[in-house]
A and B are shown apart, each in its own frame.
Chain A
Amino acid sequence: MEQLWMGDSALTANEVRDRLASASAPGRAPATTTVLTVLSRLERKGFVGRSRDTRPHRYSALLSRAEHTAELMHEVLSASSDRDAALARFVGTVSAGEANTLRRLLDDVVRH
């Protein structure tokens, strides 16, 4: 469903439904009420904004896909080892000096 906000300007629930209908197989299009439910749920979670000065209300994405991804990665990469047990990263934070040492080691390995 999300793809729809990523591309375009603000849409009404009906327009969202029409786009979904044309994108999915015939007979599998969701009802407008379903779309509205999903939209309001997304609004509560802070993904979608609603402009109330027109009727029907128009919905738009608050952040682009790339912005969301950047935010997510920032959270993941700055989650230092002793803050939360929520995630496990493959390699933790590495300083510039250490990175150079590793690069030299890597060159040795690759050359062999």
Chain B
Amino acid sequence: MTATAPHFEAPPVRAPRRSVQALLEARFAALLVAPAMAVIALVAFYPLGHALWLSLWKINLRFANTPWVFVGLGNYVDAITDDARWLNALRVTLTITFTSLLAEFVLGMIFALVMNQSFKGRALVRASVLIPWSLTTVVSARMWQVIYHASYGVFNRILVDIGLIDAYKPWIISPVFTIWAMIGADVWKTTPFVALLLTAGMQLIPGELYEAAAIDGATAWDRFWRITFPLLRPTMLVALLFRMIDVFRMLDLPFVLTGGGPGQATETLSLYTYRVIFTDLKFGGGSALAVLTFLMILGSAFIFIRVLGAPVAGAESER
């Protein structure tokens, strides 16, 4: 693909003609890009602007004709200084984000190292890995409710059978276990995605590097830490970035699996925000919470892309 360019660009073109060409090309490109950009502007950016506007007001739709009261940044200040439930949701979300990402990457790396080898049944492994990935989150939440059930769940039965626990535990209705049970369900579903990305990244590493290292007498452990890990860094950063974005805005899983409970033990930022908006009908305060969530994601993504150098389309110019 890189070798094809000279063949076509070689004929010398007079300067004015080239600028006309470039103009035509740019006009055509604008035509092609415009529809997608228009939809994004109307259905994503305009509503986001609207949300920013709503977040400056106290709005309660519970009673008809309640007047909107302008509060400026008041909703934001309230959330950060005075809303214990929001701070709890932030703590829950951060706990889930750090734990899930760590577990997914450790497991995903093991999966990838195996999938990157050639062995009989590789297709079977790839097919099974795709099953959790393709499942609807809501469906997997329902599945795990059955599995984790306190009295007739199979998770309890297995743990008792192999002797890890001696009595059944209420995995998803206990203040202690529930968040970890939920993280388990999330890690189960998302590890495959991480593993597939890491495998694809590993396949880009030239085999000669490993051969040379083997000749030099490097152990498998050395080869992993000296070759695989550093060369996989760009892939890992991209995978981490996308997973971070997804975990940080997690809603479906706690919504269906635990309802955010018991109490608020598994209430994530998105779930709490949803309730402020659609249960309390506080559209202003809720919008402020939603904007805060978005800003935190944006901030973390900025660190990933600009500081750590995650190679994401849009963060770099043409390759």
Q: Do A and B bind each other?
A: no
